[in-house]
């Protein structure tokens, strides 16, 4: 895989009911060199006027309005499919509440050109912790966070998240898109593991050039979201026949269940969702089994 400054790169944003944040993200992408025609927004059936507002402000942008909410896993899968079929070499992914800072795209292209690993398939700009350090992930059956100082040093890793990440079309040719049946949560783990199985590499650029709004973390994790995290990780362990994943899942769930019982709100609802998550993983029930808008 040979990199050059003439790479054809698209940008992909998945959104739901955050039109004001989405506008900031699109403007940031344009400021970093993306043309409107190279930006794809997957609108997960927003009902806050997202479609009308975006079409009026950015008429040349590719806005894909879905008839139902297929969440982040489905949205990114749909966007990657569109980007790949249109012939882009790489696709830069970000959430609707995060945006690249000045120089982000240039730093990523420079990193691609300086990397000697011809199996590089993921390149992510690291998110930052509250202390301004770069956040990375390592794989121990679950994703475990650790922090390092900001730098321009390219770091090989075994796990990334999609926010602020570029994915190569060569990888898509080999393993396809991320699995929409996860709906939300764990699909990034699965995609990284599939890439590793195929011999591809993940790298992180810890330069701090990604702004992360973290709006999905405000007011804690809702019970329905815990359902998907619990179900999907257990399903992944079972599907891959991985003792390490199932062990990691069990340790995490014991900690979360303890926290729910002694410190959490809506205890019975959260525990009920946990029970249903385990049941559905064992029964191989996937996709959108519970609609977030109803909870």
Q: Rounded to whole angstroms, how far apart are CA atoms 268 and 275?
A: 10
Residue from 143, 145, 140, 134 nearest 204 by CA: 134
Strand ranges of the sheet holding 9-15, from the earlier edge strand across to the other edge: 62-65, 39-43, 9-15, 90-95, 165-168, 120-125, 201-205, 155-157
Query: Per-residue pLDDT for 240 more than 60?
Result: yes
Is residue 40 within 8 A of residue 11, CB to CB? The reply is: yes
Q: φ and ψ at 250, to 5 degrees?
A: -65, -45
Which of 153, 181, 213 finishes a domain? 213
Q: Do 209 and 103 share a structural domain?
A: yes
**Residue 1 — pLDDT band, cuts 50, 70, 90?**
very low
For residue 1, being part of any structural domain is answered with: no
Which of 192, 213, 234 finishes a domain? 213
For residue 3, being part of any structural domain is answered with: no
Is residue 168 within 8 A of residue 182, CB to CB? The reply is: no
Distance of CA 194 to the CA centre of its chain: 15
**Residue 219 — pLDDT band, cuts 50, 70, 90?**
low
Q: Do 225 and 199 share a structural domain?
A: no
For residue 2, being part of any structural domain is answered with: no
pLDDT in tens, 80-133: 999 999 999 999 999 999 999 999 999 999 999 999 999 999 999 999 999 999
pLDDT for the residue numbered 293: 76
Is residue 191 within 8 A of residue 178, CB to CB? The reply is: yes
Q: Do 235 and 130 share a structural domain?
A: no
pLDDT for the residue numbered 3: 42
Q: Do 198 and 66 share a structural domain?
A: yes
pLDDT for the residue numbered 216: 56
Q: Do 207 and 262 share a structural domain?
A: no
Which ranges constitute the DSSP H helices of 177-266?
A: 187-197, 223-239, 243-263
pLDDT for the residue numbered 181: 98
**Residue 4 — pLDDT band, cuts 50, 70, 90?**
low
Q: Rounded to whole angstroms, how far apart are CA atoms 212 and 15?
A: 14
For residue 28, being part of any structural domain is answered with: yes
What integer is the mean pLDDT of 135-157? 95
Q: Do 13 and 149 share a structural domain?
A: yes
Q: Do 70 and 54 share a structural domain?
A: yes
Using a pLDDT cut of 90, give the percent of the chain over it: 91
For residue 4, being part of any structural domain is answered with: no
Q: Do 173 and 80 share a structural domain?
A: yes
For residue 151, being part of any structural domain is answered with: yes
Q: Do 199 and 89 share a structural domain?
A: yes
pLDDT for the residue numbered 120: 97
Hey, what's the torsion of the CAs at 250, 271, 44, 232, to 10 degrees?
Answer: 20
Q: Do 232 and 92 share a structural domain?
A: no
- Residue 238 CB contacts under 8 Å (≥ 6 apart), including other chains: 246, 281, 282
125: domain CATH number is: 3.90.550.60
State which residues form the domain around 265: 219-294
Residue from 75, 20, 16 nearest 45 by CA: 16
For residue 203, being part of any structural domain is answered with: yes
Q: Do 267 and 139 share a structural domain?
A: no
Q: What is the pTM of this model?
A: 0.94
pLDDT in tens, 27-86: 999 999 999 999 999 999 999 999 999 999 999 999 999 999 999 999 999 999 999 999
Which of 213, 245, 267 finishes a domain? 213
pLDDT for the residue numbered 256: 94
The tally of domains found in the chain comes to 2
Q: Do 266 and 162 share a structural domain?
A: no
For residue 290, being part of any structural domain is answered with: yes
């Amino acid at each position: 895989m040979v990199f050059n400054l003439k790479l054809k790169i698209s940008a992909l944003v998945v959104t739901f009911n955050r039109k004001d944040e989405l506008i900031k993200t699109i403007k940031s992408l344009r400021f970093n060199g993306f043309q409107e025609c190279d930006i794809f927004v997957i609108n997960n059936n927003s009902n806050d006027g997202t479609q009308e507002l975006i079409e009026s402000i950015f008429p040349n942008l590719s806005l894909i309005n879905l008839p139902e909410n297929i969440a982040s896993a489905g949205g990114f899968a749909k966007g990657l499919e569109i980007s790949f079929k249109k012939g882009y070499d790489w696709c830069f992914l970000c959430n609707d509440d995060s945006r690249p800072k000045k120089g982000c795209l240039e730093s990523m292209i420079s990193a691609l050109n300086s990397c000697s690993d011809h199996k590089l398939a993921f390149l992510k700009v690291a998110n930052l912790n509250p202390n301004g350090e770069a956040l990375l992930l390592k794989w121990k059956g679950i994703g475990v966070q650790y922090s390092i100082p900001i730098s321009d040093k390219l770091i090989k890793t075994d796990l990334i998240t999609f926010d602020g990440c570029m994915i190569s079309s060569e990888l898509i040719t080999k393993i396809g898109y991320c699995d929409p049946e996860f709906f939300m949560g764990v699909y990034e783990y699965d995609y990284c593991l599939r890439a590793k199985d195929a011999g591809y590499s993940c790298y992180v650029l810890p330069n701090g050039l990604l702004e992360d709004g973290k709006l999905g973390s405000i007011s804690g994790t809702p019970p329905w979201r815990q359902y998907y995290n619990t179900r999907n990780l257990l399903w992944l362990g079972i599907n891959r026949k991985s003792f390490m994943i199932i062990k990691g899942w069990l340790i995490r769930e014991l900690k979360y269940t303890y926290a729910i019982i002694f410190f959490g709100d809506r205890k019975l609802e959260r525990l009920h969702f946990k029970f249903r998550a385990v049941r559905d993983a064992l029964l191989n029930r996937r996709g959108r089994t519970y609609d977030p808008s109803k909870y």
